[in-house]
Chain A
Amino acid sequence: MAAETALALAEALTAGTTTAAELVETALARAEAARPLGAFVHLRADAARAEAAASDARRAQGAARGSLDGIPVAIKDVMIHEGEPCTCASRILENFIAPYPGTAVARLQAAGAVVLGRTNMDEFAMGSSTEHSVYGPTRNPWDPSRTPGGSSGGSAAAVAAGVVPIAFGSDTGGSIRQPASLCGVVGMKPTYGRVSRYGLVAFASSLDQIGPFARTAADCALALEAVAGHDPADSTSLPEPAPRLRAALTGDVSGLVIGLPREFFDADGVEPAVLDRVREAVAELERGGAKTRAVSLPHARYAIATYYLIATAEASSNLARYDGVRFGRRAAADTLAAMYRRTRSEGFGPEVKRRILLGTYVLSAGYYDAYYRKAMKVRTLLRRDFEQALSGCDLLAGPTTPELAFRIGEKTGDPLRMYLSDIYTVSANLAGIPALSVPCGFSDGLPIGLQLLGRPLDEATLLRVADAYQRRSDWHLRAPDPATWAGPGR
């Protein structure tokens, strides 16, 4: 049986049938049972207990702060939390303690949420499997021989395993939606700029966005409301006030027009079971009164190439700051130049080096126009494709990822093949639009996700449709079997 939702726990707290202190003990016990999955890199047991006690004290005085007060949550090890470690699963940040508060975590704490711990990820959020981590891989709760996807695989696994009802991740090319799909939970990348990036360690600044994981769309709405909204500390955060999302969850989809991009259903290399479950989910929404229409995204096939040029170019620039001077790991060397080289060579793992090299190459003299500027122009074409497609419908639907959870080690030897895992997700980041993944079935015991993509700022419609679908389906009520988690060598 699936663990309780945050909204159900909030009701129990209000009714006095449980306490935040009880919830944090349950979450810590479940984290212990789920330890073989490697979802967490840092648990804050004592701090979480203290925060839960403070929450109970507020509630006793009639000063509870809202539905998140006393609810345990997890955050990806890429979001800073004042006075706590933040390593991005990298050796180069092994001893880093955040010297100031990041906006997303500060807002969660202001809402009374209890931060249980920090979750595993691909180093600097670069990867699609949570295998490129200095802590070792995270395992998929549905089959521990498989990856949870990535890069926010620890957050997805923590929610799928029932440790916490809500976790946060970051999504630069699919790093929330792809693991949500492979772990059978809901994961949302909001509109670019909806959530402040202040305190989110930068990978590709024009694409990065923080977003929530939960078992239900309704919990995602609760989680996103808490962190969304303009932040003076991030000039790219949108000026619009935080949206009222829970009010949009009417359960009604009648009259909504869902666009089905031809390119998402005709693609080669997609598992037939994935397309079957996605088509069935769309048919269920049609039974609920939604209409469908075929649309086209003619440049979607160029999205992966465009993404890996832009993202690596931005990454090569962003990761120049790790030089051993002001923070992080420093390698011993006689001269400054040698110290830079040794610090970076010892501190970064192979996937991060690969992306820094690719990004440096495509920005270098003689190649800038052919690669980077070309990719920025194709980004314009992709953005126009979405504007066109969404002008005649309310949202788009398709698969989140072309495959089921793959085995640990299956793709690490072939970076290009790993990159193609993101084929359906990167476009939303390039176009800046919101998108989410909602569980829509299983094949061979492994979860499959339906991706919904919407107009800029229209997270409400996506959550409304995902919530309506969950009211008409029970995939999210299934839970993985903890007896499968413990095993030799884990």
Chain B
Amino acid sequence: MGRIDRAEVERIAELACLELAPDEAERMAAELAAILGYVEQLAALDTDDIEPTDHALPLATPFRDDRAEPPLAPERALANAPERDGFAFVVPRVLDEDES
């Protein structure tokens, strides 16, 4: 299994859309290393022929009648928007200066 250091934590943070201060990344690396060290114990178990469990109880996908239900009103869906324009969410520009 992998080793986790500050560079790896920074790579993962980027994937997760998080920014970490250098000391925060250092501390996270130490804490995650301790946790990953603890979970290494699973490697000792032979699970080659074991099916994975995603949900604990067997559930059939339930169907409902194909009938339209009232949707969430647009005004309500937008009520928590940090910034909006009519019935649209407004976000900062998508491209960086040098990409545009």
Contacts and interface: CB of A to CB of B under 8 A. Distances in A.
Interface of A: 95-97, 99-100, 191-193, 206, 232, 235-236, 238-239, 299, 301-302, 304-306, 308-309, 316, 320, 323-330, 333-342, 344-345, 348, 350, 353-354, 356-358, 360-361, 364, 366-367, 370-371, 373-381, 383, 415-416, 419, 429-433, 456
Contacts of B47: 374, 377-378, 380-381
B69 to A, nearest CB: 9
B82 to A, nearest CB: 4
Contacts of A97: 79-80
B54 A381 contact: no
A87 B62 CA distance: 31
A416 B93 contact: no
Given A326-B77, A379-B56, 4 more contacts: A330-B82, A353-B20, A357-B16, A358-B36
B64 to A, nearest CB: 6
B15 A364 contact: yes
A357 B56 contact: no
5 contacts: A323-B17, A341-B19, A344-B16, A371-B39, A415-B34
A376 B54 contact: yes
Nearest to B16: A360
A353 B28 contact: yes
Question: Which 10 residue pairs are nearest across A and B when measured between Cβ atoms?
Answer: A432-B56, A376-B52, A327-B80, A330-B82, A377-B47, A305-B39, A99-B76, A379-B53, A345-B19, A377-B50
Contacts of A375: 39, 42
B80 to A, nearest CB: 3
Contact of A333 (B1, B50, B92): B92
Contact of B31 (A341, A342, A354): A354
Nearest to A456: B57
B18 interface: yes
A344 B38 contact: no
B35 A325 contact: no
Given A327-B80, A338-B92, A431-B56, A416 B38 contact: yes
A237 to B, nearest CB: 9
A324 B2 contact: no
Contacts of B41: 301-302, 305
Q: Interface SS of chain B: helix, strand, loop or mixed? A: loop
A173 to B, nearest CB: 13
B68 interface: no
A191 B55 CA distance: 12
B57 A309 contact: no
Given A376-B53, A416-B38, A330 B83 contact: yes
B53 A380 contact: yes
Nearest to B49: A377
B52 A358 contact: no
Contacts of A306: 42
A99 B55 CA distance: 29
A429 B55 CA distance: 10
Contact of B18 (A341, A364, A377): A341
Contact of B81 (A327, A329, A367, A431): A327
B39 A381 contact: no
A304 B41 CA distance: 11
A316 B39 contact: no
Contacts of B61: 235
A4 to B, nearest CB: 36
B55 A432 contact: yes
Given A97-B80, A379-B52, A416-B35, A361 B12 contact: yes
B17 A344 contact: yes
Nearest to A346: B19
Contact of B80 (A99, A304, A333, A364): A99
Interface in B25-45: 28, 31-32, 34-36, 38-39, 41-43, 45
Interface string B82-95: 11000001011111
A397 to B, nearest CB: 21
A366 B8 CA distance: 13
A381 B47 CA distance: 9
A233 to B, nearest CB: 9
